[in-house]
Amino acid sequence: MSATCPWCPSWLPVSRDCGSLATFGGEQEALDETWAFITFVFCLFPSGEAAPVQGTAFDLRKPVELGKHLQDFHLNGFDHNFCLKGCKEKHFCARVHHAASGRVLEVYTTQPGVQFYTGNFLDGTLKGKNGAVYPKHSGFCLETQNWPDAVNQPRFPPVLLRPGEEYDHTTWFKFSVA
């Protein structure tokens, strides 16, 4: 997405995300470049701290079978921003592999973070193609974005767009079969 702000009086906070719900389950293989996640206080509001993922349930840098991982760590699911290594150029974000079908999704982005959501609020009432039912955790989203609450956190990547500046971020979804 690219945008300018010619009508802004001084600045405008901008943090767009890009994501779609995917439903091909199986082995979740990455966030290889993830180094931290945003810790949350009440109701998933950011606390302003970036915590290391190493040794936690949030360490998805090596392949995990997602459903088993959620059970092993007694998690209700993910709905967290993972902080990527800062870079304004195209960089690797995540890889998901469905072993049964061989389908692979790789995500690349120019954004500094990715919100990883595991369909925690799906409850079977949403009907899909051919009447498919989507129960809890039957899909996931990888939404590239800036870090939540960055406008209020001076140590987070900047989100202020000043008059005449251009907001320019891109996300690439690469699909293949392994």
* Domains in the chain, CATH or no CATH each: 21-157+168-177 (2.70.98.10)
- Does the pLDDT value for residue 34 go beyond 50? no
* Prediction pTM value: 0.81
Contact 12, 5 (CB under 8 A): yes
Confidence at residue 6, expressed as pLDDT on a 0 to 100 scale: 55
- Does the pLDDT value for residue 39 go beyond 70? no
DSSP state of 44: G
Contact 19, 144 (CB under 8 A): yes
In this predicted model, what pLDDT tens digit does every residue of 45-83 receive, in sequence order?
678 888 888 889 998 888 888 888 888 999 999 999 899
